Amino acid sequence: MNYFSSNFKLGILGGGQLGKMLLAETRKFDIQTYVFDPSMEAPCQYGATKFFIGDLMDYDSVYDFGKKVDVLTIEIENVNLEALEQLEAEGLKVYPSPKTLRLIQNKGVQKDFYVENQIPTAAYKRFASLTDLRTEIEHNRVALPFVWKCAQFGYDGNGVKIVRSAEDIENLPNVECIAEQMVPFKNELAVIVARSVSGEVKAYPVVEMEFHPEANQVEYVICPARIDCHIAKKATEKALQVSQAYNHVGLLAVEMFQTHDEDILINEVAPRPHNSGHYSIEASYTSQFENHLRAILDLPLGNTWSKVAGIMVNLVGEEGFSGPVVYENIEKIMAIDGVIPHIYGKKETRPFRKMGHVTIVNENMTEARKIAEEVKNTIRVIAK
């Protein structure tokens, strides 16, 4: 298929910031982009060739959208899989495939998949509801503390809570969930793996993530991770093992824990561009977004090496502010060498909502980390 100077149409389910950054890379390829999202305010509304509004979980809406395009991809996992399965059965190229998404969309199924494929992960138990989990706690069949995760529809720290006492589950939703053993870890790491339709595979360098203590959101993504070479090698090997087991097409972001015993445990995966790869837009030879496109279009994958050290700072809404967004002191951080802000275009801010990110590139990692701290302490996402 000719992707260049043609009528080729790429469909993207989801119109958030990941889609917006993906659209920026499609400009290189001269392809039409159709985006489908439930919100009129979605960041993708301006960048797509055509923008459609509808429910991502509605069979007819997703199916009808899929009939308009030549290749269909996602920027969010929570989509109607039955519609994707029907579209694929009718010959549409859907990447990642609904088969892959079925193994990932539900976190309980995802954890079972690791066990079945001898992939190391933290011990866990699955529950059909919070009521069932409460009963197990009352009978001392679940050890405290543990990490509670809702099985579906969690994102950016939503749907995850550390449970230290029985009272901590009182306000959680009564949904299917898992109770995961808390892992005393040394580092949280991630590796993004690109896999093309033809099976070409390339991994990005291991990144290290620093988290906000309360919001359970990543504050900094650091590339390359400040870890020993043998740990980086082990983490990359585990990520490639996971990628091979899923046999996905496109990107797979593999999040993992480095334990104090230097083991690598898989936490969870995302079959799409990911927050842990945003640094790659400025710091890598080929960004994660371009490689996602190359992979799903079955073009040769680009070089995943870094040109320079990169640190990403997430811009999230400040606590105590909700309403029309204001980026306070953005001009101050833009005056610093190697600081590049990305504003996602969301009109309304609220506490901890992801509103943008800033990449810091520098040949010196220590200096980059210092500047990242300065950026974090200078720019504020507030409301009018």
Cis? peptide before 43, omega within 30° of 0: no
Q: Which residues of the chain have pLDDT under 50?
A: none
Whole-model pTM: value is 0.94
Known binding residue 106? Answer is no
Known binding residue 183? Answer is yes
Known binding residue 45? Answer is no
Known binding residue 93? Answer is no
Known binding residue 268? Answer is yes
Which tokens go with 26?
């499609």
Known binding residue 86? Answer is no
- Strand 9-13: give its sheet, edge to edge: 50-53, 32-37, 9-13, 71-74, 93-94
Distant-in-sequence contacts of 20-28, Cβ < 8 A, 24+ apart: 20/44, 20/47, 20/344, 20/345, 21/273, 21/278, 21/281, 21/289, 21/342, 22/75, 22/273, 22/289, 22/292, 22/293, 23/47, 23/48, 24/289, 25/287, 25/289, 25/290, 25/293, 26/293, 28/290
Known binding residue 28? Answer is no
Known binding residue 188? Answer is yes
Known binding residue 181? Answer is yes
State residue 219's pLDDT score. 85
Count of CB atoms within 10 A of residue 102's CB?
A: 14
Domains of the chain: 9-94 (3.40.50.20), 123-181 (3.30.1490.20), 185-383 (3.30.470.20)
